[in-house]
């Protein structure tokens, strides 16, 4: 059996120390999210495909925030600190400081290139090995290379990388750019980093000088040109953040459509990277599926629906709904204008209708909560019906309590169930009742004041009004105008 580690790289170093001042944000740039994942999280996902022995993230600006985030999403990474922003060479040197004696390949990438695919890094490493390079640079041809370092070739090798400000007019005309993503032989990298000097006005150490050092030492420097140049595009401001977000979302939707999902309007449909969709799912306009949401075969979601960490069963129909951390079973219908809060579970064939809010509610198979109801901390049995305007009064000012409704029971409209209370199987609650005592099987609970009709109240208290006229007409009487005595001359 082959050694499972033979194709692993020695290390991946992700540069994530930049301040990102153009983002104008208290949040570090690499923590801004695209498709539901932080940019540094996306970089880690791509790097993990290489199965590196060491995965290092170099932090600097607002390091406490970045470190806390990494501890949550990627506890396997090693965190290195770049104390001062002294350039890309210094960042990589900081990253390798905790990893002495490396042998093999070291991949260097960035925490703000969110479209970079795992397959691209795998291909880059394969090319590096096949060509026997000391350094391999990922390059791209971009529509506007302004601001990028240009690749100056010597046949199929890289002669040098020249920065925009140092380039001649002829070199600035070159369209092939340096992405800032590399594979290095570990020895060539450490030797090159050791030779770096701040030969620029900024006093910074540039990683491109390591490339020049390898070339000067007679080592081979190769380039891997990627056709999909958007994978090399970084994020420096909110405009670019929106552009990369839209592009990644487009790619996610294309992948799902190729897997058999119908997306009626891709321009208004947003799906996070962690979402899972089955064949024959239909997504209608203005739908957003976020977090770890999963949707089973044949379900229809939308329009105007947001699901966050929601599980949706087969053939369910979810219309104009906001839901989070909920389970929607097979053949369930939800909406319109429904709010499912965390802990809600809807069993097969249940129906939750318009203007219903649920929280920690477990609704049995085939049960119905059709409209205008608050159902919090509740268990509703199979086949039961909750009438319009019902309130599960679950909060006593100190704690939340649970009420239960048994199977095939009926709660009349405009009722209040004051928790904790139990309505047994096959019971009825009369409309307008306030229930504070358990209801037994097959019982009818009635809790409301006795109705009293006060005869003639309108004619006495509202004389001369349209209401009085209507009442009199219904009684076949002619209303007497205010002030008239009823006599004739």
**Residues designated as active site:** 371
What residue ranges in 119-162 does DSSP mark as E strands?
Answer: 135-141, 150-154, 157-162
Distance CA 303, CA 289 (A): 12
Cβ contact 432:444 at 8 Å = no
Per 3-state DSSP, the chain is made up of helix, strand and coil in percentages (nearest 5) of 25, 30, 45
In the block, which residue shows the tokens 């009684």? 475
Q: Which of 277, 322, 319, 275 is nearest to 295 (CA)?
A: 277
Structure-token pair, residue 265: 């309007």
Cβ contact 78:102 at 8 Å = no
Cβ contact 117:231 at 8 Å = yes
In b/e form, how buried is each residue of 183-216, taking b as 16+ CB within 10 angstroms? bbbbebbbbbbeebeeeeeeebbbbbbbbbbbbe
Distance CA 299, CA 259 (A): 15
Sign of CA dihedral 365, 366, 367, 368: positive
Q: Per DSSP, what are the bridge partners of residue 74?
A: none
Residues ≥6 apart with Cβ < 8 Å to 49 = 118, 119, 121, 122
Cβ atoms < 10 Å from Cβ of 457 = 10
355 three-class SS: strand
Structure-token pair, residue 341: 């809060």
CA angle 117, 118, 119 (to 5 degrees): 90
């Amino acid at each position: 059996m082959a050694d499972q580690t033979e194709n692993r790289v020695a290390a991946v170093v992700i540069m994530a120390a930049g301040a990102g001042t153009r983002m104008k944000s208290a949040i570090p740039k690499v923590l801004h999210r695209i498709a539901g994942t932080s940019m540094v999280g996306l970089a880690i996902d791509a790097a993990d495909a290489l199965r590196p022995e060491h995965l290092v993230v170099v932090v600097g600006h607002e390091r406490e925030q970045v470190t806390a985030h990494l501890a949550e999403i990627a506890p396997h990474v090693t965190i290195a600190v770049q104390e001062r922003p002294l350039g890309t060479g210094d960042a990589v040197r900081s990253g390798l400081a905790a990893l002495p004696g490396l042998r093999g390949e070291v991949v260097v990438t960035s925490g703000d290139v969110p479209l970079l695919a795992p397959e691209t890094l795998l291909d880059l490493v394969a090319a590096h090995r096949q060509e026997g390079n000391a350094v391999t640079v990922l390059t791209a041809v971009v529509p506007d290379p302004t601001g990028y370092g240009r690749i100056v070739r010597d046949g199929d090798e890289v002669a040098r990388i020249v920065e925009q400000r140092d380039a001649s007019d002829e070199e600035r005309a070159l369209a092939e750019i340096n992405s800032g993503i590399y594979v290095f032989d570990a020895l060539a990298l450490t030797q090159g980093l050791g030779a770096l000097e701040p030969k620029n006005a900024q006093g910074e150490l540039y990683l491109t000088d390591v490339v020049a050092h390898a070339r000067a030492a007679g080592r081979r420097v190769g380039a891997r040109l990627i056709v999909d140049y958007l994978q090399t595009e970084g994020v420096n401001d909110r405009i670019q953040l929106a552009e990369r977000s839209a592009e990644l979302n487009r790619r996610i939707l294309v992948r799902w459509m190729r897997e058999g999902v119908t997306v009626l309007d891709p321009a208004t449909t947003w799906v996070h990277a962690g979402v899972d969709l089955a064949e024959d799912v239909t997504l209608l306009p203005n739908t957003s599926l976020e977090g770890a949401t999963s949707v089973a075969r044949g379900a229809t979601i939308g329009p105007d629906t947001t699901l966050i960490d929601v599980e949706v069963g087969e053939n369910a129909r979810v219309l104009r709904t906001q839901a989070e951390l909920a389970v929607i079973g097979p053949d369930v219908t939800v909406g319109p204008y429904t709010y499912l809060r965390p802990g809600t579970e809807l069993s097969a064939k249940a129906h939750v209708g318009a203007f219903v809010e649920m929280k920690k509610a477990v609704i049995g198979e085939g049960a119905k909560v059709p409209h205008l109801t608050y159902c919090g901390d509740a268990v509703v049995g199979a086949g039961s019906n909750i009438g319009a305007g019902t309130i599960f009064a679950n909060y006593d000012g100190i704690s939340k309590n649970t009420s239960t409704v048994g199977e095939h029971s009926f709660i009349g409209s405009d009722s209040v169930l004051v928790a904790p209370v139990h309505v047994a199987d096959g019971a009825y609650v009369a409309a307008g009742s306030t229930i504070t005592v358990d209801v037994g099987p097959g019982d009818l609970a009635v809790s409301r004041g006795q109705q009293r009709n006060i005869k003639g109240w309108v004619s006495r208290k509202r004389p001369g009004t349209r209401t009085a006229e209507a009442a009199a007409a219904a009684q076949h009487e002619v209303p007497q105008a205010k002030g008239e005595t009823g006599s004739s001359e």
